[in-house]
Amino acid sequence: MKTKIKICGLSAEASIDAAIAAGADYFGLVHFAKSPRHVSLARAAELRDHAGDRIKTVMLLVNADPKLTGKAIGDVKPDVVQFHGSETPDWLKLVADNTGLEIWKALGVKDKPTLAKSSRYIGAADRLLFDAPAKALPGGTGTSFDWTLLAGHDHQIDWGLAGGLDPDNVIDALNATRAPLVDVSSGVESAPGVKDVDKIAAFCQAVRDYDEAG
């Protein structure tokens, strides 16, 4: 089975082109002012237009109010909306019902009970992204969590693995979790918010090496 790849927090056309050339399935646009990867909605729309239909576009929002959520979807026209805050299942379902878009929800994993609670998103999210627990920022911090927590978990929703992944550890992460999707951000950067095209290529190649070995 081919592992899906998302490269998140892109802000330049060259980074999108690198992700596409390396075989990534998704790229993420972050609209959250506190993040070093923040892009305005106008810039996000430009980047989405540049990508076209060559790769799927994910719009990442954090506790955005209904007006901002609607504007982001209308302006950027993403394929997927990823919620990375404390959004409720009811809100996700409302957005899905009114837009027809694919909905992802990121969840910080601290312990097994956290995973058990993820079942509340059944019927509300199309995919869960298991990430490191939020600190000053809700994601993109380069911090991983204990992957063994996912061992034996009965996944009832499509899911992916995020948090502290990079070209050097992604194969270990996949061996530990068998994640169907991996999501990288800071692990393919030369500085906060600055993507490195060589690291993007190396990350994607590592995932493909894992797939071929499996």
Residue pLDDT, tens place only, 172-203: 999 999 999 999 999 999 999 999 999 999 99
Q: What pLDDT score was predicted for residue 142?
A: 59
> Rounded to whole angstroms, what are the CA distances from 44 to 7, 13, 111, 157?
15, 11, 34, 28
Q: What pLDDT score was predicted for residue 114?
A: 84
What span, in angstroms and rounded, lies between the C-alpha atoms of 198 and 175?
Answer: 23
Three-state SS string over the chain comes to CCCEEEECCCCCHHHHHHHHHCCCCEEEEEECCCCCCECCHHHHHHHHHHHCCCCEEEEEECCCCHHHHHHHHHHHCCCEEEECCCCCHHHHHHHHHHHCCEEEEEEECCCHHHHHHHHHHCCCCCEEEEECCCCCCCCCCCCCCCHHHHCCCCCCCEEEECCCCCCCCHHHHHHHHCCCEEEECHHHEEECCEECHHHHHHHHHHHHHHHHHC
| pTM of structure | 0.94
Residue 143: which domain range?
Answer: 4-213
CATH number of the domain at 123, please: 3.20.20.70
What span, in angstroms and rounded, lies between the C-alpha atoms of 103 and 58?
Answer: 9
Q: What is the pLDDT of residues 125-159, one digit of tens each?
A: 999 999 988 654 554 555 788 999 998 888 999 99
Q: What pLDDT score was predicted for residue 134?
A: 65
Residue 91 pLDDT exceeds 90: yes
Q: What pLDDT score was predicted for residue 16?
A: 98
Q: What is the percent of the chain where pLDDT is above 90?
A: 85
- What is the tally of structural domains in the chain? 1
Q: What is the pLDDT of residues 93-115, one digit of tens each?
A: 999 999 999 999 999 998 888 88
